[in-house]
Structure 1
Amino acid sequence: MQNKEVTMLNMFRYVFSSVLKSRLLLFVNVLALILITGFQFIMPQFTQYIIDKVIPRGDYHLLTRTIGLLLLAAIILGLLNYFSTYYMGVMSQNAITRLRNSLYNHIINQDTYFFESRKTGDLMVRLTSDINNLQSLISPNMLSMIGNMFTFVGVLIFIIYVNWQMALAVSLTFPLMFVIYRVFRNRIRTSFMNARAAQSKMSNQMQNTLTRIDLIKGYTAEETEEQRFSEYANENRDYTISATWNQAVFGPLIDFVNYLGTSIILALGAYFVIKHQLTIGQLVAYLSYVALLQNPIQSFTRLLNQLQQSLVSYGRITDILKVQPVIINAPTAVPFPEFKEQLAFDHVSFTYPVKSEEEKHLVAINDVSFTIPHSNTVALVGHSGAGKSTIVKLIDRLYDIDSGKITIDGINLRDIELSSLRQHIAIVSQDVDLVDGTIKENMMYGTANATDADIARVAELADIATFVSSLPDGYDTQVGERGMRLSGGQKQRIAIARALLKDAPIIILDEATSALDNESEKAIQHAMDHLIEDRTSLVIAHRLSTVHNADTILAMDHGTIIESGTHEELMQRNGYYRQLYDAQFE
């Protein structure tokens, strides 16, 4: 169903709101267009003057002077077109960069659920191709239509003054152009809309393929992925061909109407010349003016496919812009407190956002209460899906709870500034996220003011200094996309060093060693001990051998805490935790 807000008018308002931020450039461009319009209007007058005045007189001196003025006018017109094209390009690039940055900022500030419910490839297409399509609205060709409109109005008034009968006759072709435009507009737009959707599918497929190439090769699924991509590519081809067919029919129809208008002028003009009501020079000039009159219509029809593509892209961008984050600062939000007491969950329940009524019963955590005293380590254990990682997301306020409350030193999490809250929490997870840069850049990520001495210190604590010093480029070594040049243990050490550099009072280890072998886990455990030392820590562990020394262990199942205590206490109870432990060490 088409969004009623996606109209040509709203699209131009959106784009030109960015253009208006360069008012001086806009003024220069509009002034240039007005001057261009004036010179375009003057040029046929030279032709008429030469035919009607110069040739009958046989005055070669007057002919030379008139031709010289014609060439001078042509040079000035060329210079005006040069400056107009260049400065329109500058204005266009500035405006489109502002729009792209604005859309990127809007996307990056969305809630976690937004990214979990959207496809990465589709978002990339909206930030690149869809924004690029809007650029055609402020291209030199598009903005020259402003000048064409001035030309259209001026020329129409002039030809009515010269001969109203011919002006009326050629004007009868304009409604026919409008009907053709109305018929083909929706067809072309629908085809481009479907082609754009297919392009998003291709982009998603490429993104998925490139990020899981090892899985594809390991299961020899190349043929399956090739077939899937081919289906999307063929779908994009078919819709694009459909749009091309409509354009191929549309263009010649418009050209025929233009030739029809020219034929009418030639027929009537010849009649008036024979009747001595029009000179030959006036007829030639009149034909030139009719061409100028048709130019705005021809330009508009040539740009029809660009307008339709832009409108489709604007609709896709609008879909993103109307989504607003829910996780925001409260009006009276305060900075993170001087943490001295505890982090507490008080009867907290939470269900992930769902799209259907049938899923509303899928509660992630239910009536959970526990505390993490200052400088203590609390461990969460349980089967996959028990709700452990959901606890992490709620502490970092990636989601807001449904009921109960989470407090830090008695202050509700919702009353703490988001950026301040997250600056005071460091998370090291199983899936280490590294940026495509150097080891140093990854360690400093989020802590841009760190010194070389700080980096060296945390590298020692994270047990990565020896490894880095053995590399030819040291801390300037490139890690590759997603850290592909590093082992799992090396990536974990960099993540720990990054958390140490952040120096947050609350540390969360979310199954940080579950993907490592035993030897790597032992090597990294020392670094993790440094990380949680004198800090308040929540450790989510799959391997129960890593939580023996926790001050408190919480055993979770189906979103609830069913046991709590120390390792020794829970083993003595012979309950759920003991079952987990025995099953793991059988």
Structure 2
Amino acid sequence: MKNKEVTTLNMFRYVFSSVLKNRLLLIVNILALMLISAFQFVMPQFTQYIIDKVIPKSDFHLLFRAVALLLIAAIILGLLNYFSTYYMGVMSQNAITTLRNELYKHIINQDTYFFESSKTGDLMVRLTSDINNLQSLISPNMLSMIGNMFTFVGVLIFIVFVNWQMALAVSLTFPLMFIIYRVFRTRIRTSFMNARTAQSKMSNQMQNTLTQIDLIKGYTAEETEQNRFSRYANENRDYTINATWNQAVFSPLIDFVNYLGTGIILSLGAYFVIKKQLTVGQLVAYISYVALLQSPIQSFTRLLNQLQQSLVSYGRIIDVRSVKATIVDAPQAVLFPEFHDKIKFEHVNFTYPAKSNNEHNLVAVQDVSFEIPHGQTIALVGHSGAGKSTIVKLMDRLYDVNSGIISFDGVPIDQISLNSLRQNIAIVSQDVDLVDGTIRDNIEYGTANATDEQINHVAKLADITNFVSPLPDGFETQVGERGMRLSGGQKQRIAIARALLKNAPIIILDEATSALDNESEKAIQHAMDNLIEDRTSLVIAHRLSTVHNANTILAMDHGEIVERGTHEELIDKNGYYRQLYDAQFD
């Protein structure tokens, strides 16, 4: 369905909202354009003067003076064009950077569900190519349309004054231009819209290929992926060619109408010259003025391609801008309390929303109630899909509960500011996220102004020193994209060091060792013990051997807590937990 907000007027309002933040520069540019229009209007007068006054008198002194004035006017016009082009470029870059930063901020502050239901490559295209397309709206060529409009109005009044019959005749070509524009506008816009969609598919395909290259090679799926990319590339080519075909037809039609206007002026002008109602100089100047009159229309038609691409990109940007985050701070949000009592889940229910009309809502957590007393460790165990990781997301308020209450020392989670809540919770998960930088960058990520002493201290607690010290660059060693230069155990230690440096009172370990072999797990266990020492911890474990020492173990199945107690109590109970335990150690 077409978004009713995606109109040319709204697009210009959106783009120029950033331009207006520097109104002085905009005003100076508009004044420069007005002066350029004035000088463009004056230039044909020199031609008329030389033909009608200088040549009949054979006055070389007058000729040199007229030519000198013409050159001076040309120099001034050139300087004005230079000034206008440069400062329009500055204004354009400032404005488009503002728009890109605003869109990036809007995207990064969206809810988790937004990113789970969006494609990374498509968002990248919107932040790069789509924003770049909007830049054409505040380019020197586009903004020169303002000057051209001044020229259009001034010249139209002037040629009516000189000869209204010729002005009326040439004006008859304008509706024809408008009709041609209306016919081709929709065709070109549709083609570019389809091409942009295909480009997003290509971007997503490239993203998936680069991030899953080991899987592709392991299953010899190179040809399959190549064929998929080729299909999207061919779609993009076909739609772009279709748009190019429409432009190829459109531009000559507009040129023909312009030549038709020139032909009308030459015919009528010659008639009036023969009738002594017009001088030759006036006719030559008149033709120049008609060219100036047609210039705004020609400029607009040349910019039709950019305008239609910009409108498509604007629609895609507005689609993202119209998405509003639902997980936001309450009007009177408070800071995280001085945590000393407990975390409490009371009859919590949560269902994942369907990602499409063909899917059903997924019930993840049902009537879950438990407490995590201050300083204690609570473990969650159960089969995959039991709802364990959902508890983590609810506790970090990546999602809001459908019903029930999560509270920290009695303060409901939705009354705590998001920033304050997440600063007081440190999460170490199975899939360690590392930034493309150094080991130090990754340890101090999210913790500003960490000292060398602090870095060394947490590195020692996380048992990082033994593999960092032999490295030539030490903590300045590059980890590679997604930490590809490090082993799983090394990445996990860095994640633990990062959590230690954050020094949050609440720790969540979300199957932090499930991807490691037994030897690596034992090596990291000491670092994990240091992490949860004297902290309130929630441990989600796939390997039940890691939760023996938890104060309480909660066994989950199909979103519900079906058993709770210590390891010994649950083993003696010989129920669901015992089945999980025996299945792992048989």
Q: Could you tell me the TM-score, scaled by structure 1's length? A: 0.99
Paired with 2:451 and 2:159, the residues of 1 have a C-alpha distance of 75
**Letter of the 1:582 counterpart:** D
The SS at the match of 2:285 is helix
- Write the deviation string for residues 123-156 of structure 1: whole angstroms up to 9, x where unpaired: 0000000000000000000000000000000000
**1:362 corresponds to 2:362:** yes
Q: What does 1:380-529 align with in structure 2 at a 5 Å threshold?
A: 380-529=380-529
Q: Which residue of 2 aligns with 1:203?
A: 203
Paired with 1:436 and 1:306, the residues of 2 have a C-alpha distance of 36
- Write the deviation string for residues 162-202 of structure 1: whole angstroms up to 9, x where unpaired: 00000000000000000000000000000000000000000
Q: What does 1:204-283 align with in structure 2 at a 5 Å threshold?
A: 204-283=204-283
CA positional deviation for 1:15: 0.3
Paired with 2:78 and 2:330, the residues of 1 have a C-alpha distance of 58
**After the TM superposition, which of the residue ranges 163-172 and 362-371 deviates more from structure 2?**
362-371
Paired with 2:238 and 2:521, the residues of 1 have a C-alpha distance of 53
Q: CA contact under 8 A between 2:148 and 2:295: conserved in structure 1?
A: yes
Q: CA contact under 8 A between 2:196 and 2:236: conserved in structure 1?
A: yes
Q: CA contact under 8 A between 2:39 and 2:77: conserved in structure 1?
A: yes
**Letter of the 1:350 counterpart:** F
**After the TM superposition, which of the residue ranges 500-509 and 445-454 deviates more from structure 2?**
445-454
Q: Give the direction of change, closer, same or farther, for the CA distance of 1:27–1:357 in structure 2 (3 Å limit).
A: closer
Paired with 1:402 and 1:18, the residues of 2 have a C-alpha distance of 39
Q: Which residue of 2 aligns with 1:577?
A: 577
Q: Give the direction of change, closer, same or farther, for the CA distance of 1:83–1:327 in structure 2 (3 Å limit).
A: same
Q: Give the direction of change, closer, same or farther, for the CA distance of 1:359–1:193 in structure 2 (3 Å limit).
A: closer
CA positional deviation for 1:450: 1.2
**Letter of the 2:78 counterpart:** G
**Letter of the 1:441 counterpart:** D
Paired with 1:185 and 1:361, the residues of 2 have a C-alpha distance of 42
CA positional deviation for 1:373: 0.5
Paired with 2:566 and 2:583, the residues of 1 have a C-alpha distance of 19
**1:338 corresponds to 2:347:** no
Q: CA contact under 8 A between 2:353 and 2:362: conserved in structure 1?
A: no
**Letter of the 1:547 counterpart:** V
**Letter of the 1:280 counterpart:** V
The SS at the match of 1:43 is helix
Paired with 1:293 and 1:370, the residues of 2 have a C-alpha distance of 78
Runs of 5+ unmatched residues, structure 2: none
- Write the deviation string for residues 352-402 of structure 1: whole angstroms up to 9, x where unpaired: 122567755531000000111101001000000000000000000000001
Paired with 2:361 and 2:440, the residues of 1 have a C-alpha distance of 46
The SS at the match of 1:446 is coil
Q: Which residue of 2 aligns with 1:8?
A: 8
CA positional deviation for 1:466: 2.0
The SS at the match of 1:272 is helix
**Letter of the 2:517 counterpart:** D
Q: CA contact under 8 A between 2:352 and 2:361: conserved in structure 1?
A: no
Q: What does 1:105-184 align with in structure 2 at a 5 Å threshold?
A: 105-184=105-184
The SS at the match of 2:486 is coil
Paired with 1:2 and 1:275, the residues of 2 have a C-alpha distance of 57
Q: What does 1:291-370 align with in structure 2 at a 5 Å threshold?
A: 291-355=291-355, 359-360=359-360, 362-370=362-370
Paired with 1:275 and 1:45, the residues of 2 have a C-alpha distance of 22
Paired with 1:53 and 1:431, the residues of 2 have a C-alpha distance of 85
**1:191 corresponds to 2:175:** no
Q: Give the direction of change, closer, same or farther, for the CA distance of 1:346–1:471 in structure 2 (3 Å limit).
A: same
Q: Which residue of 2 aligns with 1:43?
A: 43
Q: Give the direction of change, closer, same or farther, for the CA distance of 1:26–1:227 in structure 2 (3 Å limit).
A: same
The SS at the match of 2:478 is coil
CA positional deviation for 1:350: 0.3
Q: Which residue of 2 aligns with 1:65?
A: 65
Paired with 1:296 and 1:267, the residues of 2 have a C-alpha distance of 23
- Write the deviation string for residues 203-232 of structure 1: whole angstroms up to 9, x where unpaired: 000000000100000000000000000000
Q: What does 1:73-84 align with in structure 2 at a 5 Å threshold?
A: 73-84=73-84
**Letter of the 1:297 counterpart:** I
CA positional deviation for 1:4: 1.0
Q: Give the direction of change, closer, same or farther, for the CA distance of 1:544–1:3 in structure 2 (3 Å limit).
A: same
Paired with 1:534 and 1:501, the residues of 2 have a C-alpha distance of 15
Paired with 2:331 and 2:402, the residues of 1 have a C-alpha distance of 20
Q: Could you tell me the TM-score, scaled by structure 2's length? A: 0.99
Count of aligned positions: 586
Q: Which residue of 2 aligns with 1:567?
A: 567
Q: CA contact under 8 A between 1:351 and 1:360: conserved in structure 2?
A: no
Q: Give the direction of change, closer, same or farther, for the CA distance of 1:329–1:357 in structure 2 (3 Å limit).
A: same
Q: CA RMSD in A?
A: 0.8
**Letter of the 1:344 counterpart:** K
CA positional deviation for 1:514: 0.4
CA positional deviation for 1:483: 0.3
Paired with 1:331 and 1:67, the residues of 2 have a C-alpha distance of 71
Runs of 5+ unmatched residues, structure 1: none
CA positional deviation for 1:309: 0.3
Q: Give the direction of change, closer, same or farther, for the CA distance of 1:361–1:293 in structure 2 (3 Å limit).
A: closer
The SS at the match of 1:20 is helix
**Letter of the 1:394 counterpart:** L
Q: CA contact under 8 A between 2:340 and 2:374: conserved in structure 1?
A: yes
Paired with 2:361 and 2:258, the residues of 1 have a C-alpha distance of 65
**Letter of the 2:453 counterpart:** A
The SS at the match of 2:21 is coil
Q: Give the direction of change, closer, same or farther, for the CA distance of 1:304–1:358 in structure 2 (3 Å limit).
A: closer
CA positional deviation for 1:449: 2.0
Q: CA contact under 8 A between 2:354 and 2:361: conserved in structure 1?
A: no
The SS at the match of 1:513 is coil
- Write the deviation string for residues 475-498 of structure 1: whole angstroms up to 9, x where unpaired: 111110000000000000000000
- Write the deviation string for residues 57-89 of structure 1: whole angstroms up to 9, x where unpaired: 000000000000000100110010001000000
CA positional deviation for 1:534: 0.3
**Letter of the 1:142 counterpart:** M
Paired with 2:358 and 2:183, the residues of 1 have a C-alpha distance of 43
Q: What does 1:521-540 align with in structure 2 at a 5 Å threshold?
A: 521-540=521-540
CA positional deviation for 1:532: 0.2
Q: CA contact under 8 A between 2:353 and 2:361: conserved in structure 1?
A: no
Q: CA contact under 8 A between 2:375 and 2:537: conserved in structure 1?
A: yes
